[in-house]
Amino acid sequence: MTETAIELVGVNKWYGTFHVLKDINLTVETGQKVVICGPSGSGKSTVVRCINRLEEHQKGQILVDGVELTNDAASVNRIRSEVGMVFQQFNLFPHLTVLDNLTLGPVKARGLTKKEAEERARHYLERVHIPDQAEKRPGQLSGGQQQRVAIARSLCMEPKVLLFDEPTSALDPEMISEVLDVMVDLANEGMTMVVVTHEMGFARKVADNMIFMDAGEIVEHGPPEEFFGAPRSERCQKFLSQIL
């Protein structure tokens, strides 16, 4: 991977006439962890969805590993193979076992044999501390376990970058830390991560760069010490005072 994992340059996006992203500039170096926060509706999900091309931007450039995102299928496939995503709602296949959820991608998209994919799946289930849940279906697991399965599923594709969109927002409070602990481990192992979250304890622990978005703009960014110590803008101060 190049030194710069992700770069957004003057990115703008509209939903119809609604200007949802306004001149977004963002650089994520390889190995860095960027945490994005901001009020509901500020465009956080749209940014991360644009990075893995679940959404299209209309103006500006997004580069992943030095290659610009365009509409050609090769570019989209390349992004999907390098960038993993973990969603708020887990998005596991309910009718498949945990193991089959994990082996599907590597077999279909990576050409692994079933046996290779299973070995890999068990390895990553171990890493998220649920090796004993492989034969269950998602519905038989707690929310925290399901989200850890979703993280393991992303890891099975061996991505270079992981995007997280409010991965703990749908969880009961007592399950949040078991998911955050796994994410902290990943961060410490050097994974490049972009994380939308309001878990500021996690952010303080791992973030290299904090981003505050409001109304489609990056209003404030900087290292956590600076960001939490002395937010410059009133909007950011107000937001932090509400969630901290």
- Interface residues with ligand ADP (CB under 6 A) are 15, 18, 20, 38, 40-46
Per the structure block, which two tokens stand in for 57? 């931007």
Q: Specify whether the CB–CB gap between 243 and 215 falls below 8 A.
A: no
Q: Is 45 in the site for Mg ion (CB under 5 A)?
A: yes
The DSSP 8-state label assigned to residue 198 in this structure reads -
Q: Is 133 in the site for Mg ion (CB under 5 A)?
A: no
The CB-of-105 to Mg ion minimum distance in angstroms stands at 24
**Residue number with the shortest CB distance to Mg ion?**
45
> What does R_g of the chain's alpha carbons equal in angstroms?
18
Report the DSSP pairing between strands 18-29 and 4-15: antiparallel
The structure tokens 């500021």 sit at 200
Choose the contact partner of 93 out of Mg ion, ligand ADP, none; CB within 5 to 8 A by kind. none
CB of 13 to ligand ADP, least distance (A): 9
Give the β-pairing of 33-37 and 209-214: parallel
Q: What is the DSSP letter of 77?
A: H
- The distance of closest approach from Cβ of residue 15 to ligand ADP in the complex, given in angstroms and rounded to an integer, is 3
| CB closer to ligand ADP out of 187 and 213 | 213
Task: Please tell me whether residue 32 binds Mg ion under the rule CB under 5 A.
Answer: no
Tell me how far, at minimum, the Cβ of 194 lies from ligand ADP, in Å.
13
Subset of residues 138 to 197 that bind Mg ion, contact rule: CB under 5 A: none
Q: Which stretch binds Mg ion (CB under 5 A): 30-38, 44-52, 142-150, 198-206?
A: 44-52
Does 42 bind Mg ion (CB under 5 A)? Our answer is no
- Considering the rule CB under 5 A, would residue 101 count as an interface residue with Mg ion? no
CA 133 – CA 149 distance, rounded (Å): 9
* Minimum CB–partner distance for residue 44 and ligand ADP (Å): 4
Give burial (CB, 10 Å; 0-12/13-18/19+) of 155. Answer: buried
Identify whether the C-beta of residue 181 lies closer than 8 Å to the C-beta of residue 130. no
* Closer CB to Mg ion, 45 or 101, in the complex: 45
Apex 1 CA angle, 187 and 114, nearest 5 = 75
Footprint of Mg ion (CB under 5 A)? 45
